[in-house]
Structure 1
Amino acid sequence: MGLLDHSLSSLWTAAVHTYSPRQLEFWGTLAVQLIFFWVPALGFVALDFVFPSFSAKHKIQPAPKQPTATEIWHCFWVVLRNQLQSVATGLLLVAVSVARDEPSRFRITTTLPSLFEVAVGLLGCAALREVMFYYAHRLLHSRRLYGRVHKVHHEFTAPVALAAQYAHPIEQLVANTLPVALPPLILGVHIVTMWAFVGVVLVETAAVHSGYDFAGGPAVRAHDAHHERFTVHYGAYGWMDWLHGTDGSRRKKVE
């Protein structure tokens, strides 16, 4: 284990000396997006075709509600469009920062952060993300915004993993991007902590949208219920739903 730690530290030190902070920030984040969203999302979707009997056994919602192959392909192209939009936005922000000679807002050191530092950063980012995502999601369910924006995401009443980022471009920014991008920026965490947080969130969102009972326990069933009923489970981790009484219980709402 010590040899592995030393190798990782050496690779990281070499990367910091080789690339600029902005290059690390952009290309590293893009790599995290590709690996931690597309790999699990496509893996979950492939179960339907590679192991159909296993897939049918573990689907939470019945077969008649499941999307067709055509709908999944449509979902793929919409998600790809949304991610290309995010990449273009990221390139623009990097260009502006470079033009203004602004430093990266993340800590970038020649040594890797400790596991304790990463854990504390992850907890802080998760707490901020839950608050931001809950209120953004509730806002998207308002009468004015649901039909114009959020209804796109709810076309999948039985969600699949790719549908985690199947959304109107406005929702992609307000609910899918900002609640994940802002917490690490606000807390000024190490860039490695930011990548770890983004990676965890991407795997989590693919899992909770997968529609499979084995993918994430109560969180999967909660989000599946949200797609089925629309008026419960707006948050990512559940405690904001508990606070506001939108967790599906009979407890009086706190608005």
Structure 2
Amino acid sequence: MNFSDAQNTTGYLWIDSRKFCRNQWKSVLNWSRDDEITIYFWIPVLLTSVPYWLCNLPLLVMDMTGKPSFLYQFKIQGDQHKITWSQLKILFPVVLLNQLITIITLYGFYLICLWKGSISYQIELPTLFCGVMEFASFVAVEEILFYYGHRFLHVPEVYKRIHKMHHQWKAPCSMSTFYSHPVEHIISTMIPALTGPLIFGSHILVAYIWFTVIVLNTVNAHSGYHFPVIQSSEAHDYHHLKFNEMFGVLGILDHLHNTDTKFRLSIQCKRNQTFFSLTPIRKLIPDFNCKRPKQE
């Protein structure tokens, strides 16, 4: 096969994949009967709830039992105690309350979509380039809103009244993702997640992908585990441990504002990478390989 044949084959595959995606999306629209409350509200509710619980329940079992041990060994703060039933009784009501707030906020998203009319659900899908650019824009908006909103929550008076609740978990677990004051949940979770699609007028399918990814990423960041292949959660785990560094998602604004200076010197920074080994990264990069920052 020469270069020209390879180009033609790639072109055909791309055209076929676009047709496939379009047909699948058409099936979704047929299933929903073009009902806007289903498209703008109920599907986002499913995409933010189902992945949350599918990821959290197995991790919760691990956090409570320490089993299976071959997965539990990937715990970042390995010296921390397992979650107890008494902690779970405190955790669950707050999580369920914030899930209710998520649903109410998503209903507001639905109303804005109807009012603004800029988020399309037409059969014709955006090109791959447009979809990627929209998604990248959502990431940038989230980084800005989350970072500065998070810094605001660390203002002493605000922290004492609102954010301190979330920081009760110095060693976070995946369920603690939604363990926060309702005001914080709106500021740190809902507004950064929903603003990008509303600003840029994305196709709703791109927003669906974004909602799913942001839930999975947030759960991973709070999971307390650093598994092989999966994106590292060391940075946000470090924030819970040390309190006053690593406020952002990507780390770009932390670097710009020098809120990562101690993190860059820490063993957690050395481990803040995706790895491909069945040996925990705590063993691949032991504590003595890096000078640890002084305890606050």
- State the TM-score, normalizing by the size of structure 1: 0.86
CA contact (8 A) 2:171 2:224 kept: yes
Cα deviation for residue 21 of structure 1 reads 2.9
Match of 1:234, SS state, is coil
1:37 match:
52
1:91 aligns with 2:107: yes
- How does 1:35-184 map onto structure 2 within 5 Å? 35-48=50-63, 49=65, 51-91=67-107, 94=110, 102=115, 104-184=117-197
Q: CA deviation at 1:46?
A: 2.5
In the aligned structure 1, how far is the partner of 2:163 from the partner of 2:124?
42
Q: Over residues 74-128 of structure 1, what are the superposed CA-to-partner deviations in whole Å (9 max), with x where a residue is unaligned? A: 323311111112213433664x569xx7354312211233332221111110011
Moved more, 74-83 or 155-164: 74-83
- The amino acid that maps onto 1:40 is C
Gaps of 5+ in 2: 1-12, 265-296
CA separation of 1:141/1:35 partners in 2, compared to 1, >3 Å: closer, same or farther?
same
Contact 2:109 2:194 in 1 (8 A): no
- 1:43-81 deviation digits (Å, cap 9, x = unpaired): 322333372423442111134454323313432331111
User: In 2 relative to 1, CA 103–231 (structure 1 residues): closer, same or farther, beyond 3 Å?
Assistant: closer
1:243 paired residue among 251, 256, 267: 256
> RMSD of the TM alignment (CA)?
2.6
Conservation of the 8 A alpha-carbon contact between 2:40 and 2:109: no
Paired residues of 1:36 and 1:203 also in contact (CA < 8 A) = yes
Once the two structures are aligned, what percentage of the paired residues are identical?
Answer: 30
Which residue, 236, 247, 254 being the options, matches 1:234? Answer: 247
SS of the residue corresponding to residue 102 of structure 1 reads helix
Q: Structure 1 unaligned runs (5+)? A: none
Separation in 2 of the partners of 1:216 and 1:145?
37
With a CA cutoff of 8 Å and minimum separation of 6, indicate the structure with the bigger relative contact order. 1
Structure with the greater alpha carbon radius of gyration: 2
SS of 2:53's equivalent in the other structure is: helix
Counterpart AA for 1:85:
I
Across the two proteins, how many residue pairs are aligned to each other?
248
When residues 250 and 13 of structure 1 are mapped into structure 2, their CA distance, relative to the original with a 3 A threshold, is: closer
